[in-house]
Chain A
Amino acid sequence: MTVRALQKVTVSQNGVGAFILQCHKLSFHYCDWAGSSRGMKYASFPLCGQSIAKRFSSFLRNTLSKFAVANPQIEMEVSPRPRRHPVIIGHYIGGRQKAICVRNLQKEQILQKAELLRDASGEKLKRVTKPVKSINESVRGVWSPYHGGGITV
């Protein structure tokens, strides 16, 4: 019996058929005492002339519940980290972690950082030089309507 190579039927590609979010856990850390956690705890500085309700709203108090409802597949973990700057740590399926310090940021800016970690793949940042990333790269490149002889109908 001759040795036959195992036939490769498909190559798994995330997003082809099903998309699995790479980020599975986000942990939010803050300090109860320090002022750099103000955006994590309070929306803005108290002397900004905003109303009291808005002044004391916070990312963790207000935004986190909506963010968690919108992303039910991500586990959210909130815990204090005394005497440290506030930080969001994203845990990814590949086992890697990404941490972003959110010191002195406002509520909206913290939400942006949380969305960035949610959308990240967890891999190291790489320089992207090619327009298309593919496991079966085309020899001819990307088709362009402005090049070649054109199509006559």
Chain B
Amino acid sequence: MRRITIPGRSIDLLRARATGQTPSPYLCSVCKHHATSFSTTRIRAARNSKVPLTEKIRRRIWGTDRPPGLEDPYGGKSVFENTRGRAEVEEPEEREGRLEAAKPTPDLSTYEPASTWDGLEKVGGYEGWWEENWDPYHQFDGFLPKEVVKDSDEITAALRRAVVEVFALQWAGLPLRDISAAAPGDDLTLEVQISPSAAGAALEFSQEASLEDIVQSLTPAVEDETTVKGNQTESEEDVAADRSTIDPLHPSSEVDETAAKENPTESEEDVAADRSTVDPLSQMTYDELVASWDPAWLQISLENPEVKFAVMKRTMQLTGLRIPDAAIMPAKTVKALLAHLIKPPKPRKLVEALEQKEELMNLPNVSIYAKRITPIDKHKRVGRWKVIEKELMERGLPVTGHEKEDHAQWR
């Protein structure tokens, strides 16, 4: 029977070298590792005698109990060994100290458990946080207006206004991120002509609305104070604009001032009339306004991401419409963006979809109904329902069978 040969242990290397007293003390790290893993009894013995393994190996290598050289060539124990040793020493002492300190000395003779929470200390909760932060004087005012614009011509006008204002800011050399710093006021861009150019867009300002006026309208109302203070962040400006007492939706102060300067002798009634209809252009309906513009402005490029972002931001602020990323990315021109904004909603019912199909609606032999055709409808078609209804009424019977009052009357 053939015996299985037992592979030589790595510890044998050590033993052979120790006994043979070879002059070379070299031993690879792998062999050292193997040796330590097999010599468990020796490790235990080494622990008991508090002789480190390396020291023992050194002794074995040199063959004497006192090998030459320093006991520890690296100048003391390692950091880990030091900390471990310190912890071993300190642990029992600390534990004793903690036990002494934690010993309570309560007087339980007068203790009564509480049956209600009155008088108990409250832990956690918001206390007056809601009253301080959400009181009616500090209502949350979001970026988007609450009322969403639905008219397509109105949306078109808002988009054009956003484009004109963005390029006006760009012309003025101001950062485009301030496009929505001020709450939207009166539209000054109605008479501004805009057309695509190599640099983006070319603006032609009119006498009523110059570049300065538009830029002025885009700066927040508290601009002077902030410039005096200096270096106020944009968010602070926004907050200040939101909390200002001026109604952001009707900041007609600038126009009123100019009107008053031009005609200081006017009576108050005339001023009031001016306020009601500030601009003759505003009397135009939006569809007339959109039709009066040259459609070339729709070809303005939105390739510049900074311009595109500013236009999107201002459009959302003006209209309240949310523009998804899927519509922002492919929009290369204003026209593409407008196509998304004024896209009619998907019909929810099949009838709405069929009514949009003229080739189907114009057929003489096709009739489409939005509601279920009931038996009463069939009676009505042949003129029978009036007779049936009359007979039912005479007999005091329910006409439709669905109305509660008829049932009550019948019973």
Contact = CB atoms under 8 A, between A and B. Distances in A.
A81 B374 CA distance: 10
B372 A74 contact: no
B357 A61 contact: yes
B349 interface: yes
Contacts of A50: none
B365 A75 contact: yes
Interface string A48-77: 000000000010110011001101111111
Contacts of B363: 65, 68-69, 76
B359 interface: yes
B344 to A, nearest CB: 15
A46 interface: no
Given A32-B350, A76-B367, A81 B372 contact: yes
B330 to A, nearest CB: 15
B366 A64 contact: yes
Interface string B336-372: 0000000000000111011001011001111111111
B369 A79 contact: yes
A99 interface: no
Contacts of B372: 79-82
Contacts, number: 58
A30 interface: yes
A93 interface: no
A61 B354 contact: yes
Interface string B364-392: 11111111110000000000000000000
Interface residues of B, number: 19
A74 B363 CA distance: 12
A78 interface: yes
Interface in A89-129: none
A81 B370 CA distance: 10
Given A72-B365, A74-B365, A79 B371 contact: yes
Given A64-B360, A65-B357, A65-B359, A80 B367 contact: no
A80 B354 contact: no
With a 10 A CB-CB cut-off, give which of A65, A71, A72, A81 has the most chain B CB atoms.
A65
A78 B369 contact: yes
Given A64-B360, A65-B360, A78 B354 contact: yes
A41 B367 contact: no
A58 B357 CA distance: 13
Nearest to A82: B372
Nearest to B362: A65
B152 to A, nearest CB: 23
A37 to B, nearest CB: 8
Contact of A41 (B350, B365, B368): B350
Q: Which 8 A-B pairs have the closest CB atoms?
A: A79-B369, A65-B360, A76-B366, A78-B368, A79-B373, A68-B366, A68-B363, A65-B359
Interface of B: 349-351, 353-354, 357, 359-360, 363-373
Given A75-B365, A79-B372, 4 more contacts: A30-B350, A60-B354, A68-B366, A71-B365
8 contacts: A60-B350, A60-B354, A64-B366, A65-B366, A72-B365, A73-B365, A76-B367, A80-B349
